Amino acid sequence: MDRSKLYRRFRTLLIANRGEIACRVIRTARAMGLRTVAVYSEADRDAMHVALADEAVLLGPARARDSYLNVERLIEAARKTGAEAVHPGYGFLSENAEFARACFDAGLVFVGPTAGMMTAMGSKSGSKELMEKAGVPLVPGYHGEAQDETTLAKAADKIGFPILVKASAGGGGRGMRIVRSAAELGPAIVSAKREALAAFGDDRMLIEKYVDNPRHIEVQVIGDSHGNLLSLFERECTLQRRHQKVIEEAPSPTLNAAQRETVCAAARKAAGAVNYVGAGTIEFVSDGKDVFFIEMNTRLQVEHPVTELISGIDLVEWQLRVAFGEALPLKQDEIRLNGHAVEARVYAENPTKNFMPSVGRISTWRLPAEAGGLRIDAGYREGDSVSPYYDAMLAKMIAWAPTRDVAIERLNRGLEESDVRGIVTNIPFLSALMTHPKVRTNAIDTGFIERELAVLTQAAPAPGELELCAAVAAILGDEQKAAHVQAGSPWQTFGWQPVGRRQRSFVFRVGHGPEQKITLNYGSGPATLVIGDRELAFTTAAKEGGFDLTLDGVKSAVAAVIDGHELYLRTRNGRFDLHWVDPFGGESEEQAGEDKIAAPLPGTVVAVLAEEGARLEKGAPILTLEVMKMEQTLRAPFAGVLQSIKCRVGDIVQEGVELAVVEPSGE
C-alpha cells in the first residue's frame, strides 16, 4: 500500500463524531492551524461542536444509523467541504474497518490505524488469536468463528461459570453480560447480540472466564509510520458500572514501578504484533496476582486526558502528526511520568432511578474554571438540549496534582462546585464516589460500585436552618431582580417600609415530606428570619451563580437556581431540592403513579418478554426498550395479570406512552 496515500500533510480535517470528543479534537486541530469541519444530525443542529468548527455539514435524521453511522454521507461531507482528512473520535465508526477503508478509497487520510490493523486488533476474538501467537497472557475463553448457541453453550461449560459474554466488535459495556449459570446463558446471548447489533452493526460474541474481584488496567500506546512504537504509561479504570467506566486515573495506584514496566512492555509487544500505527489502548484485567490481555481499542479512548496530564503530551496532536507522516517527537526513555491525574465522566442520568438517562434542555450550566490543575472537556453548554438518541455523557472533569490524594481532592472540589440543572446528572453520585473511604485507599474492584450503590445513591440530608434561610434569601433576591429595583433604593432591603414591622411566611417541602415554615420579619430595623423559636439576623451579598449569606455572623456561600416554585440550593452541607409551597394554593400533585408501565424516555421496543394473560410476580420482565444506546427492561410493578401489551417489537415510542397494563392480583 502506498504510504503517501495513507499519511500526508493536510490542511482541512473533518471530525466524524459529536459531543465532547468532537469539541476536543477541534480545539487541538485549530491550535495546529488546521481548518475544521463538523458533521451533525438534525438533533444536533445547535450543538456545541457545530458552533466550534469552521464549517458544518448536516448528515441526516437524528438516528445514528441515518447520520453519524452513514459512511456514504460522511465521505460526501468531506468532498463538499474540501476536507483531506477524517478524525473518527471514539464510538460510532472509530473502530470500523470499512469506514477506514472507505476513507482511503476516497483519497482521505484516516487519522487512526489502517483497516487491516483495525481488523486484526479491533475484533476481540481476532486480537486474542494474535496475542496467543505473540505470547501475551490471555484470560481463558472462546473466540472462535462459530456463533451458534450450541457452540457457545459448550464453550461456556468448558470454561466454567461465571463467564463474560461480550460483543467481539464492542466497547463501553455495550453487548456485554455477566452469566453465572447455564440457565442464564441463552437469554444473555440473545440480549447481548441484539444490543451489539444495534450499537456496532455486528452481533458476533466471544466468551471468556469472568475474573472475580477484577481490576481493569490499560496501557496507552501510539505508533508512527516509521516503525516507532511507544507506551505512555498505564491507566486504572476499575471503577465501573455495567462495564462502563466511571472514574479513571493514571498512573495505576495498584502497580509498582516493576509491574508498570512489565505491563507496558506487554502492551508494546501486543501492538507490535500488527506494527501498529496511531493511538490505541491495550486493555488488561488483573486478579490481584496476574495480568491478562483482554482486548485492544484501535482508537483514542474517552479517558485519554489523564494520560495527557501525567505525560505532558497532547495525544490528539500526536495523532495528527502521525497522520501527517511525521515521526513521533520523543523516544521511549524520554517520556516522563509526572504526578497523578483522575477523571470523572459527567452523565445526564439519574443514579437514584437505576441510572436512567435524562433528556431535556440544560437550563443551568455552571462548572468551575479550568485552573489549579483542573481540566474540563465538555460537549454541552447552557441552553443546549440533551437528546435521547446518543450516549448521555455531557463532559469529563479531570484533575492533576503531584499526588493521588491531592488529585482526588481537587477533582471532588470541582464536582462540588458544579451545578447543572434542567436535566438530572450523576454529579452528586460522582462526588460520593470520590469521597468513599475505600476509593481513597484503593480498596476496590470492578464490582465495587454495584456493591456500594445504596451508600453512593443515598438521599440528600434534610434541609436545615442554613438551607431554609438560604431558600428565603434566594426567593427575595430573585423577586428583586424581576422587579428591576433601582440600585441604592431602600426597597433593596427586603420589603423595606417607612414605618413599622411586617411579616411574610414561607413554607417549603422536600418531595412529599413534611412542610417547614420560616417567617421573614422586615420593615424598620434589620430584617430577621424566624424558624421555630429562633430569630436570626441575616444579610446577603450577590455574586455570580448565587450569593453569600451571613447568618448570625457566619458567612456561607450559596449557589441557587430557581425555576418557578422549585429551588435548587448548594451549601456547605450538600445539594438540596426544595419545593416552595404556593401561598395562594393551587398545588397540584402528579397523578401518574409508579404502577404505570410507560416509556421512561423515547426509545425502540426491542423485545416483548411476557404474553398477555400471563400471571406475573412483582419485578417480572415485560418488555425491553433500547434507550440512548442501552437496553432498559420494564418490569411488573406488582404481582398481577398482564392484561394487555400496547406495542410491538420495532415500535418507536415516545416518553410517557403507556406500553402495557397489569391488573393487580388483589392480594
Sheet holding 12-15, edge to edge: 55-60, 35-41, 12-15, 85-87, 109-110
| CB of 421 closer than 8 Å to CB of 561 | yes
Annotated catalytic residue 381: no
| CB of 38 closer than 8 Å to CB of 52 | yes
193-to-99, 147, 204, 650 alpha-carbon distances in Å: 22, 10, 7, 16
| CB of 200 closer than 8 Å to CB of 192 | no
Residue 151 CB burial class (10 angstroms; 0-12, 13-18, ≥19): middle
Catalytic hit among 215, 241, 299, 345 = 299
What is the C-alpha to C-alpha distance for residues 469 and 127, in angstroms, rounded to an integer?
A: 61
Using the structure block, give the residue that is written with the C-alpha cell 472533569: 397
Q: How many helices (H) and strands (E) does the chain have?
A: 18, 39
Output the CA torsion sign for 75, 81, 83, 89.
Answer: negative
What is the C-alpha to C-alpha distance for residues 302 and 328, in angstroms, rounded to an integer?
A: 22
Residue 493 CB burial class (10 angstroms; 0-12, 13-18, ≥19): middle
| CB of 304 closer than 8 Å to CB of 141 | no
What is the C-alpha to C-alpha distance for residues 114 and 110, in angstroms, rounded to an integer?
A: 8
Length of the chain: 667
- CA nearest 284: which of 337, 192, 211, 232? 211
What dihedral do alpha carbons 577, 578, 582, 587 form, nearest 10°? 60
| CB of 4 closer than 8 Å to CB of 22 | no
Taking 3-state DSSP, the helix, strand and coil percentages for the chain, each rounded to the nearest 5, stand at: 30, 35, 40
Rounded to 5°, the CA angle 440-441-447 comes to 85
| CB of 643 closer than 8 Å to CB of 661 | yes
- CA nearest 167: which of 199, 210, 215? 199
Task: Give the single-character DSSP code of 123.
Answer: S
Q: C-alpha grid cell for residue 622?
A: 415485560
What is the DSSP pairing of strand 55-60 with strand 35-41?
parallel
| Residue positions annotated with a catalytic role | 299
